[in-house]
Amino acid sequence: MFNFLFKKEQQVQELISKYLDNLRAAQEHFEKAMDCYFDFGLGENCDFLIEQTHKFESRADDFRYEIIEMMYSKVLIPESRGDILRLLESIDLIPTHFETVLFMIQGQRLKIPDFITPDLRELMRLSLECGDLVTRQVEAYFKKTENIKPLVETIDSLESRCDHIEREIVRKIFASDLEPFEKMQLKELVINMGEISDQADRVSRSVYIINIKRRV
């Protein structure tokens, strides 16, 4: 009934929805780019998908700045404003990690040895599951579509599995006969891939805390 009084709030809500859709698109392109790389190695197709992922990452930044600008034009009470802005900053690190991983592969012309490929694929699959779940959790927080607590627990357990796989891959890399600089390169790649689930876990916990904080 009073919707016309709160136009800006509605616009921010719409922007957040667009931001989350964009995050999903960035993740989808990251996944395609990684699959393409694992299956066919670097090439035209892979470069195109990396470029697309980068485009969605940049668009995420644009959406975030637009949301910040609108929030500071007196949308929401200051406490909520601060919570949302910190949350968006934290979510924004997820596509940044997608981009970092792809740019490392592309820029350093990385070659993944066969003995870690299955583990890396599994790490990627679980990390992307964390990404999916955290986007769903953030959406659920803003739209109150489902209970967020079970999602926090699932993301936490997936993140633990990712950590375990990450350690396992690093162990295998250093137990191999690869050149030392190759070991360091691959280790950096693995750590950056692991950062995706770590960041998803951080975002998930932030959402949970913000939600608890608002209960009276």
Partner 1 sequence: MNSLLGGIFLGWSLGANDAANVFGTAVSSRMVKFWTAAILAATFVLVGALVEGQSGIETLQNLTSFTSNQAIVASVAAAVTVTLMTLLGLPVSTSQAVVGAILGVGLLNRQLNFAGLGKVVVCWLGTPVGGIVLTIIVYKLLAAIANSMNLNIFQADILLRLCLIFAGSYGAYALGANNVANVTAVFVGAGMLSVSAAVLIGGLSIGLGILTFSRGVMETVGKKLVRLDPFSALVVVLAQAITVHFYALIGVPVSTSQAVIGAVLGVGIIKGVNTIHRRTLVHIFLAWFITPFVASLFALFLDFAIHLRYIPGH
Identified binder of partner 1 from the candidate list 84, 148, 152, 200, rule CB under 8 A: 84
Query: Are 215 and 127 within 8 A, CB to CB?
Result: no
Q: Which residue has the tokens 């633990």?
A: 160
2 binds partner 1 (CB under 8 A): yes
Identified binder of partner 1 from the candidate list 25, 68, 70, 76, rule CB under 8 A: 76
Cβ proximity to partner 1, 78 vs 180, nearer residue: 78
Identified binder of partner 1 from the candidate list 7, 143, 149, 167, rule CB under 8 A: 143
Mention every residue, 6+ apart, whose C-beta is less than 8 A from residue 165: 119, 122, 123, 126
1 binds partner 1 (CB under 8 A): no
80 binds partner 1 (CB under 8 A): yes
203 binds partner 1 (CB under 8 A): no
Query: Are 200 and 130 within 8 A, CB to CB?
Result: yes
69 binds partner 1 (CB under 8 A): no
Radius of gyration of the chain (CA): 19
Cβ atoms < 10 Å from Cβ of 102: 24
Within residues 111-130, the interface with partner 1 by CB under 8 A covers none
Which among 131, 119, 130 is positioned nearest to 60, based on CA atoms?
131
| Token representation of residue 102 | 């792809």
Compute the distance between CA of residue 161 and CA of residue 166 in angstroms, rounded to an integer: 9
Query: Are 126 and 158 within 8 A, CB to CB?
Result: yes
Cβ atoms < 10 Å from Cβ of 3: 8
**Span near partner 1 by CB under 8 A; candidates 37-45, 122-130, 141-149, 172-180:** 141-149
Residues 7-46 as x/- pattern, contact with partner 1 by CB under 8 A: --xx-xx---------------------------------
Cβ proximity to partner 1, 107 vs 215, nearer residue: 215
**Span near partner 1 by CB under 8 A; candidates 49-57, 80-88, 92-100, 160-168:** 80-88
Where do contacts with partner 1 occur on this chain (CB under 8 A)?
Answer: 2, 6, 9-10, 12-13, 74, 76-80, 83-84, 141-144, 214-216
